Structures are given as C-alpha cells and as structure tokens.
C-alpha cells in the first residue's frame, strides 16, 4: 500500500508526510550502512567513501510540482515527486557502483520501481550517476505503507563534477552561455577519464598484491617446509649478529 492509498486522499498534513519520508530515509540509510559493514567484514575493503541523505525542502517540492504544472497537494507530492527522500552513495571506484547497486537490488524488503543508468547513458549535460527509485515498507499502527526513496550512486569524481556543475549552472538559472555548457561537458569527459585511470591503477595494484600473496604462500608439500617442520635443517641465518 502506498501513502495515498493509506490516507485515501493523501496525508492530512505536511508533518505526516515528513515523518513517513524521514522514516524511510533512516531505514534505507541503515540498510546501506549494514551492507557496507558486511562488505568490510568479508572482503576487508570499504567500497563507500561517504553517504549523504536529505529530505527535499518544501520550496523545492513546490517548485517541482509547478514545473510539472501540477496542483500543490499532498496527494500530488506523493504521486509525482519521487525524490522527497533522497540518499547519495559516493564510492571509490567506477565498478563499485554496480557492486553496490546489485547489493541494494537483492535486498528482499526493498522494491526497485525504476533504474536510470546515466553511466551507460550520460545526460546531455555530461551528468553521470546510477539512480534507483525504491520503496521501503514502513510499519505503522494502521498497517504497512511503502515509501519512495531515490538512491543515487556515483564515484567521488562524479560527485565533485555534479556538485560544482550544479553550483555553476544554478547561477544562470538554466540559461548558461553555450561555452559554459561546453566546458562543463568537457570537464565531465575528464572526470570519466580520471575514473577509468584510477580503476586501472587499482586493478594493477590488486593484481600485483595477489601475485605477492602467491609468492609468500606456503606450500605444505614443499621440501623446505617439511625439513623445517621436522627440524632436519637448522636455520643459521642469525649467527652473524
Ligand atoms: P528531476 O526533475 O531533476 O529530479 O529529474 P528527473 O525526475 O528526470 O530525475 P533524474 O533521475 O533525471 O534526476 C534526478 C536528480 O539527479 C536531480 O535531482 C539531481 O540530483 C541529479 N541530476 C540529474 N541531472 C543532473 C545534471 O545535469 N547535473 C547535476 N548536477 N545533477 C543532475
Ligand atoms: Mg531531483
């Protein structure tokens, strides 16, 4: 059941709406924290640099409805504004994005409503990120309600670009001169190159490390190991000291 079904004509006030979206945001944030902790526990590696979340401001919600020529009602907010609760996962490397998306997709109590893969298909602005619109069940005394949360997954480099692009573009209120858009697009290409290079470097380091681990791995059938174990050959390396 979604919020509008539970409250028939939408929630009766903004506080109820906020309470529901806040609860959903908390729940998804905790889920992602747990996924990260488990990942560190198993793989000894943290794919997430940081997580940010936010509830859309009343003014931004209003602006969005106006943009879509909709009446400002709680019903329409629930129905048509998908990012009232938003969470952004900023990860280290490009391939971590799909890894995290996969882990989120497999959570049995989250329902994925839609996916926008702006990594495969960047926006004309140059924007890249992986977006998932999910619902999470919130258990209330009257029953269970499914609340929407928008999840954005991107690398630190993509986040850097998106934050600054937003700041620069905002100043022009959408009417930036041609050269600004062109240069920002060029910066997005540099960001993509940077992400590719960093991933290659990381893969190379991991491959070297795997090689080193192999070298120091002790083969128990090894003659030297057997000799050492049975004490046949004394190690006299320290004698000179
Ligand atoms: P919105 O109406 O802007 O929410 O777009 P949408 O409903 O088509 O959703 P979409 O998934 O395309 O984008 C949602 C969010 O992605 C935005 O609220 C931004 O946070 C981010 N985003 C999308 N395009 C851009 C962009 O060109 N630049 C930056 N900085 N962020 C973007
Ligand atoms: Mg948005």
Asked whether residue 222 is assigned to any structural domain, the reply reads no
DSSP state string for 29-67: HHHHHHHHHHHHHHHS---EEEEEEEEPPHHHHHHHHHH
Domains: count for the chain: 1
Q: How far is 180 from 189, CA to CA, in rounded Å?
A: 14
150 is catalytic: yes
Its domain, for residue 152, covers: 3-197
Nearest CA to ligand 1 atom 12: 116
Q: How far is CA 183 from CA 171, 176, 188, 220, in A?
A: 16, 11, 9, 60
Asked whether residue 216 is assigned to any structural domain, the reply reads no
Asked whether residue 227 is assigned to any structural domain, the reply reads no
Asked whether residue 90 is assigned to any structural domain, the reply reads yes
Query: Higher-confidence residue: 161 or 213?
Result: 161
Confidence of residue 228 (pLDDT cuts 50, 70, 90): very low
Confidence of residue 61 (pLDDT cuts 50, 70, 90): very high
* CATH code at position 32: 3.30.460.10
Asked whether residue 141 is assigned to any structural domain, the reply reads yes
Specify the DSSP class assigned to residue 90: E
pTM of the predicted structure, to 2 decimals: 0.86
Q: Is the CB of 83 under 6 A from ligand 1?
A: yes
Asked whether residue 48 is assigned to any structural domain, the reply reads yes
Task: Give the pLDDT score at 217.
Answer: 54
Task: Give the pLDDT score at 121.
Answer: 96
Q: Is the CB of 95 under 6 A from ligand 1?
A: no
Confidence of residue 216 (pLDDT cuts 50, 70, 90): low
Nearest CA to ligand 1 atom 13: 131
Which is the closest atom of ligand 1 to the Cα of 165? 30
Q: Is the CB of 165 under 6 A from ligand 1?
A: yes
**Tens of pLDDT, residues 182-202:** 999 999 999 999 999 999 999
**Tens of pLDDT, residues 75-104:** 999 999 999 999 999 999 999 999 999 999
Asked whether residue 203 is assigned to any structural domain, the reply reads no
Task: Give the pLDDT score at 4.
Answer: 86
Cα-to-chain-centroid distance, residue 22: 18
Which is the closest atom of ligand 1 to the Cα of 116? 11
Asked whether residue 115 is assigned to any structural domain, the reply reads yes
């Amino acid at each position: 059941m979604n919020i509008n079904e539970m409250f028939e004509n939408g929630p009766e006030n903004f506080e109820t709406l906020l309470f529901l979206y806040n609860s959903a945001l908390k729940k998804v944030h905790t889920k992602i924290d747990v996924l990260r902790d488990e990942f560190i526990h198993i793989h000894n590696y943290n794919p997430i640099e940081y997580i940010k979340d936010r509830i859309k401001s009343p003014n931004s919600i209003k602006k969005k409805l106006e943009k879509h020529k909709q009446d400002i009602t709680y019903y329409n907010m629930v129905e048509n504004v998908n990012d009232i609760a938003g969470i952004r996962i900023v990860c280290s490397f490009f391939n971590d994005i799909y890894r995290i998306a996969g882990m989120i997709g497999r959570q049995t109590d989250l329902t994925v409503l839609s996916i926008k893969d702006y990594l495969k298909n960047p926006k004309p602005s140059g924007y890249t990120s992986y977006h998932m619109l999910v619902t999470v069940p919130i258990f209330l005394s009257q029953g269970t309600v499914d609340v929407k949360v928008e999840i954005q997954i991107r690398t630190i480099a993509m986040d850097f670009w998106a934050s600054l692009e937003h700041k620069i573009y905002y100043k022009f209120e959408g009417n930036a001169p041609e050269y600004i858009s062109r240069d920002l697009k060029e910066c997005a290409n540099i960001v993509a190159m940077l992400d590719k290079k960093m991933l290659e470097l990381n893969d190379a380091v991991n491959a070297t490390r795997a090689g080193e681990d192999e070298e120091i791995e002790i083969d128990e059938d090894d003659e030297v190991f057997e000799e050492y174990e049975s004490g046949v050959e004394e190690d006299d390396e320290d004698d000179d000291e």
